[in-house]
A = this chain, B = another copy of it.
Amino acid sequence: MNFMFRKFLPSSRAIIYELKRNQPNFLQKSHFSKNPESNHVKSMEGLVKCSANYVPLSPISFLERSAIAYGNRVSLIYGSLKFTWRQTLDRCLKLASSLTQIGISRGDVVATLSPNVPAMYELHFGVPMAGAILCTLNTRHDSAMVSILLKHSEAKIIFVDYQFLDVALGAFDLLSKANCTLPRLVLISDSENSSKTINISTTSDLDYEKLLELGDTEFDFRRPNDEFDPISINYTSGTTSSPKGVVFSHRGSYLNSLATVMLHGMGAMPVYLWTVPMFHCNGWCLTWGVAAQGGTNVCLRNVTPKGIYDSIALHKVTHMGAAPTVLNMIVNAPGNDRSALPSKVNIMTGGSAPPAGIIFKMEELGFNVSHLYGLTETYGPATICAWQPEWDSLPPDERARKKSRQGVQHIGVEVDIKNPVTLESVPDDGKTMGEVMFRGNTVMNGYFKDLKATGEALSGGWFRSGDLAVKHSDGFIEVKDRSKDIVISGGENISTIEVESVLFSHPSIFEAAVVGRPDNHWGETPCAFVKLKDGCSANAEEIIQFCKDRLPRYMAPKTIVFTDLPKTSTGKTQKYILREKAKSMGSLS
């Protein structure tokens, strides 16, 4: 009877019919063809990786998913410009397609010199989708440094935001003079700032939007062959030594994106405000992470207190990240620049230890501060000060002190404080210092073209951070200092972070940094570089006394210098510059 009907059925019905009556009847060539009959062997033999059950991990998959799950939701806002996740996927496919058309091959390096504009976000997907490696250069670099990094990375293309075109062209000049091959330059003009758009014909053969037009949304993009394949190179910002190119893998990026999203409590469709530069550890992995939850990326060209407050109010920001310098900027913003928060904003901070006082003020303003810690070598966030509900009832100072600790390991990585010689764990006494070490899937592949430095960093089975810390009895770690920053005075270790924390609590001080000043008698003495708040005054004696009242005497600075602090683009104080200054002062005694 059914056969009669079948003739008239549309094809899908016929198929279902077949499926039902003759299951399993549609098997293609088995991938277990070698030994199809041995289905009673003991053990797991034959249950192998195949394309149905194994796919190299890659954060690109987050974009593919959000284009389906959140296709019509806003993926990105920049001024009056908005995209949906479907549009972002299409634009990234076009970008990847165009890159391959202009000759980008698997494993090529593609550099950027750009603030947090839409193109910068799209490059985080489009470049790996062309099989290439993204190398995001710090926009505070000068032409000399950019030329060094372009040469080292062997970048085939550099995407340059119009604001940094002069820097890039200066770097090109230097490369030309040194007879180096020049990368191709693609200019990111700015639809939001069109009056500033320059005539590209004089400077570049390609414009970002024009490049996209070449592309094809049907492009079958290049997936990593192996999940350990590199996705990006992040040159370290160089607070201490010369820049090194930290290589991230698709696997590590996937895992740390998810871990950061989870530990930052980002549920479905967060609204994320970008103040952390995307060129810094790929925005602490949240360039990819926000895509994993179908969130909205709110981009700002310039990070100002007013820009932050306005964006929070206008776009109902739920999450953001910021270095302690930016927190400082937020709490010290003039009244005119402020708007009330529409609701609680969860803010991750890291990069350096946030002074307890600043955390406290942030929370008064309605921010919920999470303290993360990590390094470029750990894909950004690697520990979190996991908040315990019983701490809610502590006095504000103690609460902020708890929160200024770096905390416990992230999902996906292991952290320990170890004796750097024996690799033994230090006791959890809150006193014994050791080096912070990491191991796990969110530790870098290594330093690009630098096997020596890679070996030094990863030898012994742990990544050696160079940071010094103690472990408290509750297992939480507290970073005391960079090993290069610690001041040793009369044989006593002085954590400059602790001294700075006291200085930050002084009512007239805007920010402060402590380094060692050479001393004939003590070896070193602590020397504080201090910037006062606008309209405030204080003298050196008074500040030194303020510290003596709150610290062991030997820890109080012996020298106070009033000055602006030199910063990296990620808001870290460049202590090596201050150390040079302190050195040039000579011995105090």
Contact = CB atoms under 8 A, between A and B. Distances in A.
Given A1-B521, A292-B411, A453-B39, A46 B446 contact: yes
B451 A39 contact: yes
A201 interface: no
Interface string A241-285: 000000100001001001001110101110000000000000000
Given A65-B411, A523-B2, A463 B432 contact: no
Interface in A360-396: 384, 386-389
Interface size range of chain A in the complex: 35 or more
A475 interface: yes
A199 interface: no
Interface string A442-482: 01111111111111101111110010100000110000000
Contacts of A29: 459
Nearest to A522: B1
B2 A488 contact: yes
Interface string A41-59: 1111011111111110100
Contacts of A386: 69-70, 268, 294
Nearest to A240: B23
A314 to B, nearest CB: 18
Interface stretch (A30-38, A169-177, A202-210): A30-38
Interface string A502-538: 0000000000000000001111000000000000000
Contact of A52 (B2, B262, B432, B462): B462
Given A5-B523, A12-B419, A69-B408, 20 more contacts: A9-B491, A18-B421, A29-B459, A31-B458, A32-B454, A32-B455, A36-B451, A39-B450, A44-B230, A46-B446, A48-B446, A50-B458, A51-B439, A52-B439, A52-B461, A53-B252, A53-B440, A69-B384, A69-B475, A73-B388
Interface string A425-448: 010000011110011110111111
B13 A491 contact: yes
Contacts of A447: 47
Contacts of A19: 420, 435, 468, 483
Interface string A1-34: 1101110110111011111100110111111100
A183 interface: no
Interface of A: 1-2, 4-6, 8-9, 11-13, 15-20, 23-24, 26-32, 35-44, 46-55, 57, 61-62, 65, 68-73, 107, 154, 228, 230, 247, 252, 255, 258, 261-263, 265, 267-269, 292-294, 384, 386-389, 407-409, 411-412, 414, 419-421, 423, 426, 432-435, 438-441, 443-456, 458-463, 466, 468, 474-475, 483-484, 486, 488, 490-491, 493, 520-523
